[in-house]
Each structure stands twice: as C-alpha cells, then as structure tokens.
Amino acid sequence: MAKSKTHDTKLPEDSDAFVTPEEAAQNDVASESGAEDKKAGTGQPKDGNKFKQFFTAYWAKKKWTIPVTILGLALLLLAIPLTRYAILGLFIKGDVTITVVDSKTNAPVSSAMVTVQGASLKTDANGKAAGQANLGSGTLRVIKQYYTTAEQSVTVTLSHSKNDFKVSLVATGRQVPVTVTNKITGKPLAGAVLVAANTEAKTDKNGKALMVLPTTVATQKVKITLNGYNTSEATITVTDSVVPANTFAMVPAGKIYFLSNQTGKIDVVKANLDGSDRQVVLAGTGREDPNSTSLLASKDWKYLALLSRRAGENATLYLIDTSTDKQTTIDEGNGTFNLVGWSGNTFAYYVGRNDKQPWEAKQTAVKVFNASTQKLSTIYETDASGDANNYLTENMYWIQQVGSKLVWFTAWSTHHQYAINSPELNEKPAQVLEYDVNKASKKVLKSYAVTGAEQNYSYYFAPITSYSSVVYAPGEIYFNVSGPGDKQTYSEYENGAVEDNNAEAKSYFTGAAREYPTYLESPSGNQTFWSDQRDGKNVLFVGNAEGKETKQVATLSEYAQYGWYTDSYLLVSKSQSELYILPVEGSASPQKITDYYKPPISYRGYGGGYGGY
C-alpha cells in the first residue's frame, strides 16, 4: 500500500505576506481587472482600490503611523498663531505684569482688581499687578471703585517682555493725594493701606497714594493700617490739592510701661509710644513706699520686675508679663530686696534676710528668676559661724551685672565680745565670683588670702574689704581692694578675668572725682546708648556693643538716657518726671510720651534693661 506524501507549508516570516485562498482569489480578480484597465489605456489601478491599499498599509503599521500623525497635526496647529496659544494655554502659563495709572494724573492706581486669562490680581502701591496667566488671547479687565472699568484685548505669550501691559483708568470721583509718615521719625511709610468710602489705596515708597473719592461730601472717615504700626483712624479732606490735613502720621506698635502717682497712689501704667491709649495695668493700694518702689523692664519690654510694698510691712518682688499684663509673685517674705537687673529673660537680685542674725548662715542670698520658665534659683548664700558674743560672718560688698555675667565680691570679718585675735580668718579668703546666666554656672575668679590675723587683737576685724566698684565701660568693672595695713589694690574685671594693679582702674579711683556713663544696651545687644557732660550740656551718644564707634545723636541739656524701644528708638527722660522718644539716628526732635513717677533710686552702671536710670 502506497504511503501518501505530506507537504509542510512554511509561512513567511512577515505575517502580513500571508493570504487566505479567498483573498488570493480576490487578488486574482483584481489583477485581471487591473490588466484590463491597463489594456484600456488607463495604466493605473482604480482610485477605490488605491485608498484601500493605503489604509491597509497604514493600519498595518499603526504603532508608528498614528503617533506620527498626531505629532504632525500638533505641529501644524502650533505653527498657526491663532491656535498656538489657545492650545498651550491649557497647560502652560506665562508671567504677566499690568501697570494701572490714573488717566488724568498718570499716578499709579493701587488696589485695583485685575483679571486676565484666568488670573485674578491686585495692584500694589506702585500700581503694578504681577502674576501668571494662561497663554492665549483674551480680555484684560481692570476694576476700581470710583473709576470706569477698563477692558482691552491682549495675548499672553511665552515672552515675558510682550506680557507687560499698561491700563489707564478714568476717574469718576475726586482724585485726592494723601501722604502717610512715621509719627516719631517723620519719614514716609510705604505699604500703608488707606480705606475710605468702600475703596482703598496703598502708599508707595515715598509714603504717597492717590485716593479717588465721591464728590458728594467734603470729608470722609479713613482707616489706615500697616504692619508694625497701630491702626489709625482719621478724617480725609476730599480735595485734589495737596493739603496738610491729608498727611497722616502713624505710631509704631508697642507699649511703654512706667510708674505713675497721678492718682495719689503708685500705679503701673502703659501707653502707646505717643502717649495715647493710657491704661492702668496694676492699680496702687496706697501702701507703696515712694522711696523704694521700682519698675525695671527687660530689653525687649516683654517682662517687668516690680518691687512694691502693696500690703503688710515688707515689699514683694513681682513679675508682670506684658503680653497679658498678668502679675505673679517672684519672691516675698521678711527680707530686703535689692534689684540687680535683667539679662535676657532672667532677672537677678539679692535679698538680705531680716530674720537672720549675723552669726547665722544664709543672711544674704543672690537669686535669679527665669521669667520664661518661672523658675527661681538661689545661686549663692553667705556663710557664718559662732554665737552672739563671738562670730565670723561673710559679707557681700558689691554685685554688678555685665551682659550675661553677674560678678560680686565677698570677704569675712570677726566680731568679739572682748579684744582677741582671729587666727580663723587666715582660712577665709576674700573672693571675686562670677555667675554665667546663660550657662547657669558659677566660679571663683580671684582669691585674696588673709595673713597675720592671729596677731590682731580687736573687737571687730575685717582684714580685706572692697567698698567701691563701677561698670566703667560695657563688660568692664573697676574695683578696689583694701588689705591689711590699708594696702590698696586697684583691679579690673573684663571677659571673665580679674587683673590686679590695673593702671586705668587706679587712675579712676585716685584721680579727680568724675562721673562715669551708664551704657544702656539695645535689645539686639549690638548698640549702646549713654549720655555725658560736655561743656555743661548733656550730650547723647550711640555706639557699638563696646561703646565705641561713637555717634552723637543730640545735645539736650535737659534730657538723660532712659532706655531703648527696639533698636530703632531711644527713650530719654526730662527732669526725671517726663518721658520722651526719638529716632536712634537723632533725625527728629524728642516727642513727649507721658509724665511718670521716678523714685529716688538709680541703678548706676546697669544697662541690661530700662527704667532704672
């Protein structure tokens, strides 16, 4: 039996070349038809078959042909200006700047509302509105109260230089020029917003603005606001002329705190920097001691330390937080409080305890109070031993504050019922101590040994004393030490070190008596402010943190330095009963803030806060 042969059919690698028998038959018919056409003299296939072949080939390569087609169409549309930006505007924005001016005065029109290509903007003090808008053609519209709405056709392009548009608005009301200044310095204020009759304007760098107001009334109420200044309300005169009545002065924001006995009691009072809005913060009780009541402000005016006898027989030390005007007690009891001053938000003082005898330890204590954390710390207490007839006691002779450092001097003495020697003093050196407020650390800077105490027979014996110290310059203390046989040592403290036998210190203590300035530190600590006598007049100076690079700001024989308010303004006192303010550069005359009560206490040399000098 013969085997039948099997024929394998091999498909071409290109699947598009494979055709079914039916398709082959159709192709044969088409070929014959084409041949007949050629015989008829046409020489080309029929049009329908040509399109079909093109479409078949196009669709067979659709992974490439469709993207190429879309890209071609996109390029074609982008090449036509009419459609280019309309398409790009769907997903691309361009930077635009619109300048709006008054058609009559050509002055910038501030606070005008601008819409363009999907963007809503507002003009600034210079009449400019800047932002991003959709690319393409559209209508630029500008609206402002008491102006005719303006519209114009614009095209936002990719080129920023072509997107700078200018619009002139025609006023329907009176064009009123106004000026806003700083009340203390007299300088113009930029960015102040004036609102009147449901419209607003903003001042330019020269403090000027143009307000368009209705002509139906002669005056309008105006509200003026600016960050860092107290809101002001005034009356604007509706005129197109420049008149003094339309120059408005704004007061820098902030409050000054001071003592006042205007009510017959000693109150704590606050007021704006021009003396307005005066308010009693803490009313007096009538028990206050006029000779010892004191109020010391921190450099940033955030905290106040008040020493006042408001009840009972003893004074109490209070803290007032100026953010809330809340009063809390720092320390109280049967003691005499002596204020040292502020270092940042930490207040230092020392207290002599009235219930302690000289032979008892802890008779004097140095304390610091952190106003931020409300933590009170005792950093030093004096020591003592013995009884009422014979005792040794440690005395604190002085304490000074320089920057963040507290520096004080202690020495020992003996007291006997009968004249006897005191050999125990040989083991009790005098000391200069320093406490760093920022680091909360204490150390002994210098010791002065006692010798020969066993040879001294007396009822009272203090072999080493130090009765004089001055903060002669920022961060610098001069002091003298008296030793056995009246030996004098003149010393200087500076930068955490003590130098004995200092020539400048000796010159100060042994030369002609002279005043030394109190350098008041600015809130930033970068500047100092002091006064000095020159040719019989009180001259005011501002310098750097070291009291150098001196600049004279005023010659005011009636005024003395009082403090700072920020680094921009100086506070001065007149007759120790009137408080004034002036710009730090001395560019304007002092302006009175208020009358105040100054107790007969001065904290000479203390510059870490204000109100004590």
Q: Is the pLDDT of residue 608 over 90?
A: no
Contacts of 391 (CB under 8 A, 6+ apart): 358, 359, 384, 385, 414, 415
410's tokens? 């202690």
CA-wise closest residue to 111 among 197, 183, 233: 197
pLDDT of residue 73: 58
Going by pLDDT thresholds of 50, 70 and 90, the confidence category of residue 16 is very low
130's tokens? 């800047």
Burial 94-113 (b: 16+ CB within 10 A, else e): bebebbbbbeeeeebbbbbb
Using only the alpha carbons of the chain, give its radius of gyration.
44
pLDDT of residue 20: 42
Query: E strands along 474-611, which residues?
Result: 476-483, 487-494, 497-499, 520-521, 527-534, 537-544, 551-555, 559-565, 569-574, 578-583, 591-595, 609-610
* Range 372-383 average pLDDT: 97
Higher pLDDT, 612 or 126: 126
| Residue 529 burial (10 A CB sphere; 0-12, 13-18, 19+) | buried
One-letter identity of residue 97 = T
Going by pLDDT thresholds of 50, 70 and 90, the confidence category of residue 67 is confident
Under CATH, domain 86-169 is a member of which superfamily?
A: Immunoglobulins (2.60.40.10)
Q: Which residues pair with 480 in a beta bridge?
A: 490
Strands 164-169 and 93-102: parallel
CATH entry 3.30.460.20 includes domain 174-250: no
Q: Max alpha carbon distance in the chain (Å)?
A: 158
Q: Is the pLDDT of residue 571 over 70?
A: yes
Tally of CB atoms within 10 A around 580: 20
How many whole angstroms separate alpha carbon 143 and alpha carbon 151?
Answer: 9
Q: Is the pLDDT of residue 249 over 80?
A: yes
Tally of CB atoms within 10 A around 182: 19
Tell me if 521 sits within 8 A of 545, measured CB to CB: yes
One-letter identity of residue 298 = S
Mean pLDDT of the chain: 87
How many whole angstroms separate alpha carbon 598 and alpha carbon 572?
Answer: 13
* Range 355-361 average pLDDT: 94
* Range 171-199 average pLDDT: 95
Q: Is the pLDDT of residue 440 over 50?
A: yes
pLDDT of residue 432: 98
* Range 157-184 average pLDDT: 91
Residues present in the chain in total: 613
Q: Is the pLDDT of residue 536 over 50?
A: yes
Q: Is the pLDDT of residue 276 over 90?
A: yes
Going by pLDDT thresholds of 50, 70 and 90, the confidence category of residue 31 is very low
Going by pLDDT thresholds of 50, 70 and 90, the confidence category of residue 81 is low
pLDDT of residue 453: 72
pLDDT of residue 29: 41
Q: Where are the domains of the chain?
A: 86-169, 174-250, 334-501, 520-610
How many whole angstroms separate alpha carbon 153 and alpha carbon 140?
Answer: 6
Tell me if 253 sits within 8 A of 568, measured CB to CB: no
Going by pLDDT thresholds of 50, 70 and 90, the confidence category of residue 242 is very high
Using a pLDDT cut of 90, give the percent of the chain over it.
Answer: 68
* Range 224-230 average pLDDT: 97
* Range 80-93 average pLDDT: 59
How many whole angstroms separate alpha carbon 497 and alpha carbon 606?
Answer: 20
Tell me if 393 sits within 8 A of 416, measured CB to CB: no
Q: Is the pLDDT of residue 12 over 80?
A: no
| Residue 250 burial (10 A CB sphere; 0-12, 13-18, 19+) | buried
Higher pLDDT, 81 or 314: 314
DSSP H helical segments within 80-184, as ranges?
81-88
* Range 137-147 average pLDDT: 92
pLDDT of residue 344: 93
Q: Is the pLDDT of residue 342 over 50?
A: yes
pLDDT tens string 495-528: 999 999 999 999 999 988 777 889 999 999 999 9
Q: Is the pLDDT of residue 25 over 60?
A: no
One-letter identity of residue 30 = A
Q: Is the pLDDT of residue 455 over 60?
A: yes
CA-wise closest residue to 146 among 106, 200, 105: 200
Using a pLDDT cut of 70, give the percent of the chain over it.
Answer: 86
Burial 544-565 (b: 16+ CB within 10 A, else e): ebebeeeeebbebeebbbbbbb
Q: Is the pLDDT of residue 84 over 60?
A: no
Tell me if 570 sits within 8 A of 529, measured CB to CB: yes
Tell me if 376 sits within 8 A of 331, measured CB to CB: yes
One-letter identity of residue 34 = G
pLDDT of residue 605: 78
Which residue shows structure tokens 């091999």? 10
Q: What is the pTM of this model?
A: 0.79
Q: Is the pLDDT of residue 572 over 50?
A: yes
Q: Which of 390-399, 555-564, 580-589 has the lowest mean pLDDT?
A: 555-564
pLDDT of residue 247: 98
Going by pLDDT thresholds of 50, 70 and 90, the confidence category of residue 80 is low
How many whole angstroms separate alpha carbon 540 and alpha carbon 583?
Answer: 12
User: Do 86-169 and 174-250 show the same overall fold?
Assistant: yes
Q: Is the pLDDT of residue 558 over 70?
A: yes
Going by pLDDT thresholds of 50, 70 and 90, the confidence category of residue 46 is low
For residue 125, the SS3 value is coil
Q: Which residues pair with 199 in a beta bridge?
A: 196
How many whole angstroms separate alpha carbon 545 and alpha carbon 525?
Answer: 6
Tell me if 137 sits within 8 A of 85, measured CB to CB: yes
Q: What is the 3-state secondary structure (H, E, C) of 378-418?
A: EEEECCEEECCCEEEEEEEEEEEEECCEEEEEEEEEEEEEE
Higher pLDDT, 81 or 447: 447
120's tokens? 């809503």
How many whole angstroms separate alpha carbon 172 and alpha carbon 195?
Answer: 17
